[in-house]
Structure 1
């Protein structure tokens, strides 16, 4: 039914657009109103809303947005007397003098419009307006991280776990309002990762470098089609006209173990060049305790397992970025960026496995002394060319990218066996896994923007990517003093992928309505080949991904929007490798080369009334990729296995509301209620269905004690929820932070306490009746942090260009380490 509905809707909308365009061409008179918006320091203000009102009764006639050069344009406006109104948080409202459009004055140029910073005098203290913690605009929920003292010293993963509507499970799965498979972007660069890879990447991203986090539920066709649950875009800080400046950051923290981090950002801008770079280092040692209770049943034989694991890990992360932009002229820029990371990881894990045939009875015990060491390296290069073809906003962007990743992971397992009375009854079982991998990614993309008459705009683009991976998994068992290759557990796996994509977006503004309709198509060829098993899986197919967004302004303070998109999620490269990886002697994971991509149709309605936002969503995902836990009743093991379930369906409702309690106390509050259902006609030999309704509560309180001191308290609660084949119990926590600035706001000290009462822990149990397991995982979460930041140099430096490269979607499916 959905394809027919979409087809007819596209026909109707296309007819309306064509009819409107024809009408416009026959109208004889053309009129326009334009201007350029800047702040008092003459810094351009792009992407800012400008409202046009009738002077006689202040009726809102139309709204326009400034482009990259701060220019706004109203065209084909009826004759009459008008004024413009511009509002921006932190600036005084700007209302222009009245002006008249008539036959003698068809085109009006308001020239440069300046916005002044708000400065209120209160007991001789200057108070400048600051951005609120959470905003909702342009179909996005925006979290202003840089203003929060809780961000200092934290990692992106810790910050993301506190974002309203966002949840992370025990291995790093991100869900948005109950919708899993969320794509993570950094500066517009997609990071669609496996759970472990995503967790590693977020741990390497320092919270000191984050400016904002954007939540995009239904992205347009311009974005890569991957990410069925939506997109979370992490925007990093950038310097802002000419000269040199930078930022130094030093921080430390303590939980059970000490942590440290440091970073530097540098930027130099001249008339023709912009040179920029940054480096960040983090040393994080932490503990993790895990308790797993499970049972296996074979005929009348029941075996009970109680596992207690205590682990300590250390991550030393180094990330860097350097680039240069050359401004050929006012309209053409060419730039080059290189970035990468070198992340080192090591850890130890002591695991006690108590085995018995009934509760309280010990038949045997296995004590594992396991150690892990890994290094993750990446280097990528991006060449970008941008051309502004005319003053109307016609643009061309070209990106070429090459990336190379090398990962090495070594795991050593030493298992000792004891009987019921604690005596050794067999020789230790010692083995190791060595898993080097190499990945090369070559991509190119072209994006084009064409403004048309009648407030229409067309965006179009093409992209091609080529990916090659080589995973060489080697398992060796120690016999005496010699390591012997275990051929049955070793495997070499090659994967090739080529995707060619094209998209078109059509945007049209009516008087109080805006419409965007888009279509993306992807032609895909993949090959997965196991050299050891002599198995090969080849796939070729073409996919279409439509998107639609309608925004209707009901009044000055009321806006309603409706959006739809079809999206896809690919399995990450390592999940396609059929090798068996040991978590411990009785817990294994295995890739699945036959796993298929999942497809989702997503709908959302948003209603904004003044500061309150209400949204309703529905998403259904076909062939949903799910990590299932399969029990081997013979070997008594449990296997983590990626496979496709038939579907996932989620209904959601969200209410967000900021409240000002006093002049110094403001709050942002978010309530989300969603119902998720996973189902498959067959799983472990029987039909499977798991459904649960979940409540998420989030509140952020900001206290402004003076112009230089503020504090923040954040609390969140998530009730029990379902993730595929397991159910997670409620999780909650409280965070507190204080911020003090001095030296004319160039220096800053932030104190933060994450998980003040040490309550955050993950508890899950099986959603499959035939399985019996319960897992409790407690990571080090109560951490006290102090961070010092100092800004030096000019305060008015033009930021390096914010651009994403063409290989971000492909790089995101690579294990980043950390």
Structure 2
């Protein structure tokens, strides 16, 4: 009993002492309001500093509803700084924290718009590279120091959900079916020739790269895995500004690029123009094929040399008739031409006693090129009731052609009798598009509706000439059995309706799109034709729930279409390598996929996002290869793949110190694919992974050091796959002349001079592989100079044509 009384007395003595030693913490909260719209302002930066020392204490972001809360604060006077791009920075005293008043509610804090940068507060922080939204994730290219000297293809390797293999083939969420846009509009240039274009486009032209995984109903339904949107357009102000970038990559050659914006009164113009050249660059490659019945070996090894030049340009114009009427237009022109020389030594042996061993040198002097013109015109009508209520009418004309030719000869022949030949093919697209869009905003609901018509003509003209002896003279004579002319008309008519609803911490986006497709194909050479009609209804839904501490959870579901493109339909048989031929399939059908995804995101000082997704397709268009004879294989496309993939993607960034920032992007997914082709059933499955890690270090205001490493595991196809792929880079940037001049140097893959990348096909009858011996260690240096001065924004249409309805290459 005595012990209990003593314990109670000690507790009574210790309790007040403990109460005095545990400090009381305070909380400051409020709501940020846009003064012009009188609506909550989300994602404004809230920076709290000590009122006496002026040292930073705590920071955060306002939520979608404008609210913020900073807790765990010592009881002392503070200054609260509210910063948001395009608004005047506001500083508010917060000196009322006391023991008897540990919580302060500052109420509504109203921010007014600003056209200039104020200097009340200087906030130093690393700009996040990745941002998660309800239906997309975006990568801020301008925040990446490597962008000053790298290409668009280099940037894509770092974007979440995107992977690039050793042969520069792009995949989105593990799929090769997607769409690539430039500024929200499709580009036939990128659809038909993404490798060369993206390797030519400097990253300095790009503001950000968006990956739209659950596209709203306003987008065409094409692209099984989603849309990659490359944003290059910039706003212009009264006055002008611009930049000029000169870049040289060893060994790939020079590039010169000019961007500019100008605005005077109601008229504005912005755009870019650039070009470059590639000196002769030589790489080696090898083809091999082994057959099992009879046992034979085909081996081909040699060199491929290319050189060329290219030019690209884009101009956007805007004329603001009055506050409610806006007229905009754009012109895009791209052209490129490359020459190539191939020299391949070929050997064939067989255990069949009736098959003679063969050998020869295959010489191919040819080239390829592209030409694109894109014209668009948009009229936008606003309404006095609400600035967001819009009616837009749009027209677009697109022309794209892709030409290649080969002059093929063989020397040092042993038991090889095929004639020398010339072959050429010119394939492309002409299309007209009409579109009408209407946006009707209500208090918490936004309604969108529209109609669209695409009138597309795909064409292919090909000729093959064989070297023939006529009257004792060797001349080239056209072979009508190998020549082909092909027209493929495709008209797409669509209607859509979508709704966006916001209520507190919830955002819902849903809608549906109906598309009717009419196909009319004409095989001019043999006189046959093809007619086909089909209708698809495509639903899409995204639901986002915001939580405290800048957290959100998003669910998305959509169906997507893949219509075959001209390069998949084209019946032209490419015999530039006469024992490994390639051709298209004009009988391909459209493909429908189903995609589910769940995304968790947390933002603040650091950012992290985790996405879990599942996609399946029943009749995928896949590349397939069959053996025609022991000396000949044919690769084409067919609707034979049943494809499923489950994927987990995690990406984020974190400032390790004030000067050092780290970013990571990793994906682990499992692939199942099966199908029957040429009488054989194939099944292939397995895990895959892609990852990228980068770090940026800023030792001072004028220097930036960057490091990057990525790893992609092997590809999994219906009949085969590839080996893994790694890449790395180091960069160094220096800013001069009052931040107008930036000098950047980059070394890619500093530890590896060459890289061997193999893609293979394995069937019960044969094994075939192509191996590329690539130049891997490269150096790039660039100079970027900015000039001009601006003061007010250019006005642009909020709706325009997006022809994302056909498959990419």
Q: TM-score range by the shorter chain?
A: 0.7 to 0.9
Cα distance in 2, alignment partners of residues 430 and 472 from structure 1: 21
The equivalent residue for 1:22 is: none
Change (3 A) 1:708 1:139: farther
Cα distance in 1, alignment partners of residues 239 and 86 from structure 2: 25
TM superposition shift of 1:376: 2.0
The equivalent residue for 1:247 is: 243
**What SS does the corresponding residue of 1:434 show, helix, strand or coil?**
strand
TM superposition shift of 1:677: 1.0
Of 286, 298, 311, the residue aligned with 1:305 is: 298
Cα distance in 2, alignment partners of residues 197 and 60 from structure 1: 41
Of 707, 725, 731, the residue aligned with 1:731 is: 725
- Across the two proteins, how many residue pairs are aligned to each other? 731
TM superposition shift of 1:797: 5.6
Deviations 1:606-636 (A, max 9, x none): 01234221110000012101111221125x2
Deviations 1:3-24 (A, max 9, x none): xxxxxxxxxxxxxxxxxxxxxx
Cα distance in 1, alignment partners of residues 32 and 709 from structure 2: 47
Cα distance in 2, alignment partners of residues 93 and 776 from structure 1: 57
Deviations 1:400-444 (A, max 9, x none): 11122344322111123533xxxxx56673111121235321001
Deviations 1:586-609 (A, max 9, x none): 111111111111111000000123
Cα distance in 2, alignment partners of residues 47 and 188 from structure 1: 25
The equivalent residue for 2:14 is: none
Q: Determine which structure has more spread, i.e. the larger CA radius of gyration.
A: 2
Answer yes or no: is 1:63 the counterpart of 2:58.
Answer: no
Answer yes or no: is 1:187 the counterpart of 2:183.
Answer: yes
Answer yes or no: is 1:515 the counterpart of 2:469.
Answer: no
Of 272, 283, 288, the residue aligned with 1:278 is: 272
Cα distance in 2, alignment partners of residues 140 and 45 from structure 1: 24
Cα distance in 1, alignment partners of residues 166 and 532 from structure 2: 32
Answer yes or no: is 1:478 the counterpart of 2:474.
Answer: no
Answer yes or no: is 1:650 the counterpart of 2:678.
Answer: no
The equivalent residue for 1:792 is: 787
Change (3 A) 1:761 1:87: farther
The equivalent residue for 2:404 is: 409
The equivalent residue for 1:630 is: 626
Confirm or deny: 8 A CA contact 1:153 1:261 kept in the other structure: no
The residue correspondences of 1:167-566 to structure 2 (distance < 5 A) are 167-169=163-165, 172-191=168-187, 197-255=193-251, 258-285=252-279, 286-298=281-293, 301-357=294-350, 363-390=357-384, 391=386, 393-419=388-414, 425=415, 429-453=419-443, 455-480=444-469, 481-566=474-559
Of 139, 146, 150, the residue aligned with 1:143 is: 139
Of 671, 694, 698, the residue aligned with 1:704 is: 698
Confirm or deny: 8 A CA contact 1:120 1:127 kept in the other structure: no
The equivalent residue for 2:677 is: 683
Deviations 1:510-553 (A, max 9, x none): 22211111101101101111111222111111110000001111
Cα distance in 2, alignment partners of residues 722 and 233 from structure 1: 26
TM superposition shift of 1:153: 4.0
Of 648, 654, 661, the residue aligned with 1:659 is: 654
TM superposition shift of 1:568: 0.4
Cα distance in 1, alignment partners of residues 268 and 357 from structure 2: 69
Of 149, 159, 163, the residue aligned with 1:163 is: 159
Of 562, 573, 579, the residue aligned with 1:586 is: 579
**What SS does the corresponding residue of 2:193 show, helix, strand or coil?**
helix
Cα distance in 2, alignment partners of residues 729 and 414 from structure 1: 32
Answer yes or no: is 1:745 the counterpart of 2:739.
Answer: yes
TM superposition shift of 1:61: 11
Cα distance in 1, alignment partners of residues 113 and 92 from structure 2: 9
**What SS does the corresponding residue of 1:672 show, helix, strand or coil?**
strand
The equivalent residue for 2:22 is: none
TM superposition shift of 1:309: 2.9
The equivalent residue for 1:576 is: 569
Confirm or deny: 8 A CA contact 1:583 1:589 kept in the other structure: no
**What SS does the corresponding residue of 2:793 show, helix, strand or coil?**
coil
Deviations 1:306-351 (A, max 9, x none): 1113111123111122342111112221022211112111111111
Change (3 A) 1:467 1:807: farther
- More off after superposition, 491-500 vs 265-274: 265-274
Cα distance in 2, alignment partners of residues 172 and 786 from structure 1: 22
TM superposition shift of 1:158: 3.0
Cα distance in 1, alignment partners of residues 364 and 633 from structure 2: 18
Change (3 A) 1:631 1:665: same
User: Structure 1: where are the runs of 5+ without partners?
Assistant: 1-31, 39-43, 53-58, 67-83, 99-107, 420-424
Change (3 A) 1:118 1:138: farther
TM-score of the pair, normalised by structure 2: 0.83
Cα distance in 1, alignment partners of residues 792 and 503 from structure 2: 37
Confirm or deny: 8 A CA contact 1:224 1:809 kept in the other structure: yes
- More off after superposition, 682-691 vs 144-153: 144-153
TM superposition shift of 1:36: 3.8
Answer yes or no: is 1:35 the counterpart of 2:34.
Answer: yes
Cα distance in 1, alignment partners of residues 522 and 41 from structure 2: 48
Cα distance in 1, alignment partners of residues 63 and 695 from structure 2: 35
**What SS does the corresponding residue of 1:440 show, helix, strand or coil?**
strand
